[in-house]
Structure 1
Amino acid sequence: MDATLSILRAADPSLSFHHVTVGLKAYESGLMAGIGDDTWKAIDAHKIILKGPITTPQGGGYKSVNVTLRKTLGLYANLRPCVSYHPYVTALHPTMDVVIV
């Protein structure tokens, strides 16, 4: 996440970010869903999320924040970019980059 934020700040220094607690730190603070009401309010207010990897503890009845976010916000697509590294890696179509949805 730090690298992504660094790039975004370099691209547009006027951007501002509101950090919220989800995942492991939220679980450790007693939130069994891994996400609190204040975070939902921030998502609703800002209408955008820049999400990094989220850890869900194994066992103990914890809910996955990733699943909760997807279901609550109706997010059912993943984007997987595939980039050609030609000429370093031999490729059948060296000039074609693909995004799989």
Structure 2
Amino acid sequence: GLGFAPSANIGDKTRIYEAVHGSAPDIAGQDKANPSAILMAFAMMLNDLGMTDKADKLNAAIQAQVAEGKVITADIGGTAGTKEFTQAVIARL
């Protein structure tokens, strides 16, 4: 789903990395959003900056967290909030 869709808008002098999905006003501020897309967009930026080892580690941590299936957000069958999922990914780094 859109929770796993990172994006990069690349121009001649500027690059913007973001999640493809919108602002999700229906869940804004409720600690419910899946942060994977924005984390993956950050990994894209790291990769573009030549920090491929860091990008690979971040992507691997996200993938491992989701594959484990324990601390995941509701959109993929879990009960964790945005912060809890993010902290679990950080712990894997």
Larger Rg: 1
Length-normalised TM-score, structure 2:
0.30
Length-normalised TM-score, structure 1:
0.28
More relative contact order in 1 or in 2 (CA 8 Å, sep 6+)? 2
- The structure with the greater share of residues assigned to helix is 2
